[in-house]
Amino acid sequence: MKGQTIVLLSVLSLVLPVGRVVAQDQADPYLWLEEVEGDKALDWVEQHNEASLAVLKAQPVFPETFDRALEILNSDERIAYPSFHGKYLYNFWQDAKNERGLWRRTTLGEYLTGEPKWETLLDIDKLSHEESQQWVFKGATGLYPDYQRYLVSLSPGGGDAVVVREFDAETKRFVEDGFYLPEAKSSVSWKDLDTIYVQTDFGEGSLTESGYPRIAKRWKRGAPLSEAETVFEGQAEDVAVGCSTIDTPERQYDVINRAITFYTSHTYVIEQGQIIKLDIPDDADFGGFFKNQMLVRLKTDWIVGPTTYKQGALIGIDYDKCLQGSRDFTVIVAPDARSNIVSYSNTRNLLLVNMLNNVRSELYEYRFQNGAWQKKRVDTPQVGSLSVVSTDEQSDRLFFSYEDFLTPSSLHYVAEGQTMRKVDSLPAFFDSNGLEAEQLEAVSKDGTRIPYFVVKPTSMKADGSNPTLLYGYGGFEISLRPSYGAVQGAGWLSKGGVYVLANIRGGGEFGPGWHQAALKENRQRAYDDFIAVAEDLVRRKITLPQHLGIMGGSNGGLLMGVMFTQRPDLFKGVVCAVPLLDMRRYSQLLAGASWMAEYGDPDVPEQWVYISKYSPYQNVSADKGYPEVFFYTSTRDDRVHPGHARKMVAKMEGLGYKVYYYENTEGGHAAASTNRQRALTSALTYAYLWMQLK
C-alpha cells in the first residue's frame, strides 16, 4: 500500500463516480481524531502514549529487550548490503553514531576484502542538523550508465511524500540550480543528463483520488517546472500515472504506466515521439526488457488465438516483433499449483528468477541464446529464503542472500566462471541451539490446506502452556517466507516463546490464484484461514487461547482487527500495527482509494454489504470480552491514516475496554525512522506479549 502534509478533504469535495454513495461520516463521534496535526488529537495521542509507555516500560523484560534490540540494530556485524551502480557498490547504513544514516559507496574489490573503506556521499544526520529538518533517506535514482548524478529523495519525517534534489556523486554536493521538487508523492526518472520524466503535484487537478500524480511530464534542465512538457494524462479515478526510462546495454526504452486500479494498468511505449499502447492483458505485470525481449507476468489465463498462456506464467517476446503485431510469446517460466515466481532480475546475460516451491526458495538462471531460453538451477542453499540483492547490468556479477528462521542471514557473491562464495554473514544474535522449525498445515473452513511454519524449542511439551506468537498478513499478493529475525529471536524465541508464520490466502505464496481467492467479496477466506491456523495450534496443544498472541501490520493490522472482533475467545494478546480498521472510510483517507481493487468500494452499497461484515471499527461492540489490544502507528504515516488506530482505541475505551496505544511522531508507514525508534517499538511489543501471554 502506498503526500504531502496531510490535508483532509471534506466528503462533499470528493469527485465520486456514478453509483457510489457518500458515507455518512457525521455519525462517527471520533472523526476529529483524523485531524492528524490537530491540537486536540495530538493532546489525545500524548496522553495515551504516556499511559501506555508507563505500563509497558515497567514490565521486567522491557529494559533488557530494548538494550539488546538496540545493540543488534546498531551492530557493526550487520551485513552492509551492496547495490551495483556503475563502477561502485552503494550502501545505506545506520548505527548508534549515525542514527539517520550514511549514504556511501566503495569498489567491488574493496568490498570483497571483508573490511572495505567506505566513501561517504551524504551524511543524513549532518544534513538534518544543518537544515534543521529531520530528514529520512528514501533512496536515490541514478543516471545510467556512469551514475555520477542522482535524484535523491528525502522525507521530512519518514512518510511517502518526499523532497527530490539533484546530487553530484563526484563533488558529493547537491547541484546548485539542479532539478528540485518540493514535498509530494513524486516519482522521477532520468532520460539524459539534461532531461527527466517527472510525476508530482503540479497543482489543482493534477492528482488522482488516491493522492498520486495523474500527469507525467518531460522536464528540461534550466526550465521552470511549470514549463515541463506534458507527456501523458490519466484520469482522476486512476490510481497513478508514471513515465520512466528503462536503460539496457542494447537500447533505451521510454515506458508509460497508467495504473487504473491497484491490479490493472495500461502500458505504453514512446517510439519516435508516438505513444503506443502495448497489447497485453490489463491485469498482467509488465516486466521490462532483457535482450530486447519484452517480459510479461500473467495474473490470469491469456488466450491468444489457439494458445492459452497460463495464470502465473512469465512470458517473453521480441519487442520489435511485438510492435509489428506479433503475439507469438514464449513461455519462460510456468509455475504449478504449489509454486510461484517471487521476483526476477537480470545481469548482462542472465535472467534470474526467484521461485517459491511450497514456500521454499529456489533460484534459476535463464539465458536467451539463438532465440531460445536455456534454464539452469543455481546451486544455492535450500529450505530457507533466497533474495537477489543486487545485479550488475554490465557483467554477470551478482549478490544474493540466504536465511531461514534459525540460520543468520548470509551474503553470497557470484561472478561468471567463478565459484559462488560467501562474503559476509550475520553472527548468531540469539542462541538457536535447542530450537527447531517445521512446516505444518491447517484446513480452512472451505477445506483448503493452509501451510504455516512453527519455530519452537525442540523439547517443547505439547501441553498447551507455551506462549505463542502467530504472525500473518494475507493481502496484496505478498508472500511471507522464513527469515532470520534477530530482534525477534532475542526478544521472543530465546526466552521460550513459540513463533508461527501463517501463509494464508490473499498472499502470493502460491501465485496470483492464491491472492485472488481472498479479494473483495471473498475476503473472509483470509480470515478463516488465519483462524484455522490458530485453532490448529490449539488442537495440536502447541498452545491454548490464554497463551496465544497474534501480530500484523498495515493490511495485517486489518487482519488483527478482524481477528479480535470475530474471535475474541481465541486470542489473549493482539499487536495491531499501522492498521486499517475503519473500512467505511478507508477509501477516503490518504492512499486508501488505491486499494479498492483489494477490498472493494464501501460507497457502492452492494460492496459495503460484504465489507461491513468484517470491518473492525463498525463491528466492535460492548460486552464481547476482547483482549487488551496493543495498537501502534505513526503520526507521519501518509499511507495508512493514523486515524484508523486512534479512532478504534477511542471507541473501545468508550465501550469500557482496556487497550494500549503508542504513536511515534515520525517514521511513516514503517512507524520508525531510526534504530532507537525501531528498538523501542520492538521492546514495547515483546514487553506487551510477555505480560499478556506468560
- Kindly list the catalytic residues: 554, 669
Residue 153's nearest CA partner among 192, 129, 180, 134 is 180
CA distance 280 to 631: 42
The residues, ordered by sequence, that sit 6+ positions from 597 with a Cβ below 8 Å of its Cβ are 261, 262, 263, 264, 519
Q: Using an 8 Å Cβ cutoff, are 675 and 657 in contact?
A: no
CA distance 603 to 46: 33
- Half-sphere exposure for 677 (CA within 13 Å, toward CB): 21
Name the phi and psi angles at 354, rounded to 5: -95, 115
CA distance 104 to 297: 34
Residue 256's nearest CA partner among 325, 197, 322 is 197
**Three-state secondary structure of 317-372:** EEHHHHHCCCCCCEEEECCCCCEEEEEEEECCCCEEEEEEECCCEEEEEEEEECCE
| Percent helix, strand and coil across the chain, each to the nearest 5 | 25, 35, 40
Can you read off the three cell numbers belonging to residue 30? 471520533
> What is the dihedral angle through the alpha carbons of 228, 230, 233, 236, rounded to the nearest 10 degrees?
30
The residues, ordered by sequence, that sit 6+ positions from 632 with a Cβ below 8 Å of its Cβ are 575, 576, 577, 578, 645, 661, 662, 663, 664, 671, 681, 684, 685
Is residue 222 exposed (0-12), middle (13-18) or buried (19+ Cβ within 10 Å)? exposed
Radius of gyration for the alpha carbons in the chain, expressed in angstroms and rounded: 25
Can you read off the three cell numbers belonging to residue 324? 509489428
